[in-house]
């Protein structure tokens, strides 16, 4: 099961070479064998998953197929409401978040035939880039025990990389899809703001939150995006733009595509192996016919600072009651980050929203008149030790968190589609990654470039040694 992708498993089920029940049983067996040390799941629904798989198996036998994911086992970050499972959002409270209806993105995957295995571990309240969680256990990186898995969609990254499920949903407010994808050596997409409904998922910062797919390959990410994208009346911020066919153009050549890498901000303080991996990938893009070059960007640090003001203000508005009434229930570093929101005046928050809109217009106009795609590092260093996330004073930990997510956060402010793709391994065997960023709602080009690069390398075929 560890070698399945969404695409080849769905095709194998269609050929009846494996049944939905067999696929689900294999995932559950792997979870039973490995998750005691990985800590990727918060809530496992083995009984519900098998019941769903049996129903799907009967339907398949009758020639009835719910959709492209018929029988494919997936799992969801534990801030997505998926009945009847509780939603803790990584807190110690079993049902911290409730919604009148299931998470729209999760429901669309299930309606397309997916089997829900359960809910995945995450940084408490989605507030942290490392994947540590004192309540449910720190998620271990499948490539190296004792290393961070990336956060806050830590369980999603680890579960997919370890083959516990073939795909997962994550959320991304400042990098929380791309960081675990990069740390765990898988693909993860933060779509354009509004491309995927966020209804039924716990918000952290409604101005910066995104929901997106995580999977082994770029093609799998495209398959999942195809299902979850589109307008949702339950989310007023979801876009009414038509959803293109993301898969039809995936194999098209990228010859002539303009791909630029930033000369400012994104390589500052970055580990030499990360920088080298991205530079080598740029040469691969060039070998595929892309027009590769450098580009100076409008200062990304300004947008990163704006995002911090917005996210802190909105996070404390959402979770302020928990902070006031049960502060000792929250991990110290999460509590410290939340408390920052109380110190931000309303006028500063409103000014940040206005500035964000102006900065975004300027960025899109100036940058994408010069290039079709940006390529940059995702993480400043290969997955650090878990002690990096858990040892030290709260202020020191917060500084480490800010540094680790600094390369992803600006793209949440600009709301642009950003895809994390593996681009090598460090000398000691930890994944390296790059992010590909495109114009608003141009996920198709982002995925096409990511797929072309992926097919020209073998990084995505490597698997962590766990058995």
Return the exposure string of 400-421: e unless at least 16 CB atoms fall within 10 Å of the residue's CB, then b: bbeebbbbbbbbbbbbbbbbbb
Could you tell me the CA-to-CA distances from 370 to 258, 373, 449 in Å, in that order? 8, 9, 17
Distance CA 108, CA 328 (A): 37
Q: Spot the catalytic one: 156, 176, 207, 238.
A: 176
Cross-strand bridge partners of residue 294:
261
Is residue 190 classed exposed, middle or buried when 0-12, 13-18 and 19+ CB atoms within 10 A define those classes?
A: buried
Distance CA 106, CA 437 (A): 24
Distance CA 224, CA 7 (A): 10
Give the pairing type, strands 418-425 and 431-437. Answer: antiparallel
Is residue 22 classed exposed, middle or buried when 0-12, 13-18 and 19+ CB atoms within 10 A define those classes?
A: middle
Q: Spot the catalytic one: 2, 152, 313, 426.
A: 152
Are 314 and 348 spatial neighbours (Cβ–Cβ below 8 Å)? no
Task: Report cis status (omega within 30 of 0) of the bond before 400.
Answer: no
Are 298 and 362 spatial neighbours (Cβ–Cβ below 8 Å)? yes
Distance CA 296, CA 407 (A): 15
Q: Spot the catalytic one: 7, 77, 190, 260.
A: 77
Structure tokens at 75: 């799992």
Rg, Å, the chain Cα set? 20
Task: Report cis status (omega within 30 of 0) of the bond before 84.
Answer: yes
Distance CA 115, CA 47 (A): 11
Structure tokens at 343: 């110190």
Residue 465 falls in the annotated catalytic set: no
Residue 54 falls in the annotated catalytic set: no
The enclosing H or E element of 301 equals helix 300-325
Q: Under 8 Å CB-to-CB from 286, ≥6 apart: which residues?
A: 292
SS3 232: coil
Residue 7 falls in the annotated catalytic set: no
Q: Known catalytic residues?
A: 77, 152, 176
């Amino acid at each position: 099961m560890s070698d399945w992708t969404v695409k080849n498993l769905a095709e194998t089920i269609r050929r009846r070479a494996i049944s939905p029940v067999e696929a689900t049983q294999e995932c559950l067996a792997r979870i039973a064998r490995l998750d005691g040390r990985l800590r990727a799941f918060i809530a496992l629904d083995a009984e519900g998953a098998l019941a769903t798989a049996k129903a799907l198996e009967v339907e398949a036998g009758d020639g009835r197929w719910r959709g492209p994911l018929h029988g494919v086992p997936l799992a969801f970050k534990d801030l997505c409401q998926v009945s009847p499972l509780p939603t803790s959002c990584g807190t110690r409270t079993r049902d911290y978040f409730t919604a009148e209806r299931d998470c729209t993105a999760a429901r669309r995957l299930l309606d397309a035939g997916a089997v829900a295995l359960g809910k995945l571990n995450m940084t408490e309240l989605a507030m942290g880039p490392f994947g540590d969680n004192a309540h449910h256990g720190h998620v271990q990186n499948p490539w190296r025990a004792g290393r961070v898995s990336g956060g806050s969609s830590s369980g999603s990254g680890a579960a997919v990389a370890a083959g516990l499920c073939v795909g997962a949903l994550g959320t991304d407010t400042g990098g929380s899809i791309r960081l675990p994808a990069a740390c765990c050596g898988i693909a993860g997409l933060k779509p354009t703001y509004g491309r995927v409904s966020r209804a039924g998922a716990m918000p952290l910062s409604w101005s910066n939150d995104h929901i997106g797919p995580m999977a082994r390959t770029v093609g799998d990410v495209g398959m999942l995006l195809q299902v979850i994208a589109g307008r949702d009346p339950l989310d007023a911020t979801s876009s009414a733009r038509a959803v293109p066919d993301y898969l039809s153009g995936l194999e098209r050549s990228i010859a002539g595509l303009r791909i630029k890498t930033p000369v400012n901000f994104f390589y500052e303080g970055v580990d030499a192996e990360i920088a080298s991996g991205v530079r080598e990938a740029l040469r691969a893009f060039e070998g595929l016919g892309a027009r590769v070059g450098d580009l100076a960007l409008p200062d990304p640090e300004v947008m990163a600072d704006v995002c911090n003001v917005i996210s802190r203000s909105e996070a404390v508005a959402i979770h302020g009651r928990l902070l006031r009434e049960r502060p000792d229930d929250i991990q110290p570093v999460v509590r410290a980050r939340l408390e920052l929101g109380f110190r931000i005046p309303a006028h500063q928050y409103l000014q940040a929203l206005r500035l964000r809109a102006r900065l975004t217009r300027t960025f899109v106009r100036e940058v994408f008149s010069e290039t079709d795609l940006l390529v940059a590092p995702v993480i400043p260093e290969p997955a650090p030790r878990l002690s990096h996330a858990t040892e030290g004073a709260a202020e020191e930990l917060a500084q480490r968190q800010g540094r680790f997510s600094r390369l992803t956060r600006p793209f949440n402010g600009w709301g642009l589609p950003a895809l994390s793709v593996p681009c090598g391994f460090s000398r000691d065997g930890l994944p390296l990654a790059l992010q590909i960023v495109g114009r608003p709602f141009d996920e198709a080009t982002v995925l096409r470039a990511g797929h072309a690069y992926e097919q020209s390398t073998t990084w995505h075929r490597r698997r962590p040694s766990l058995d």
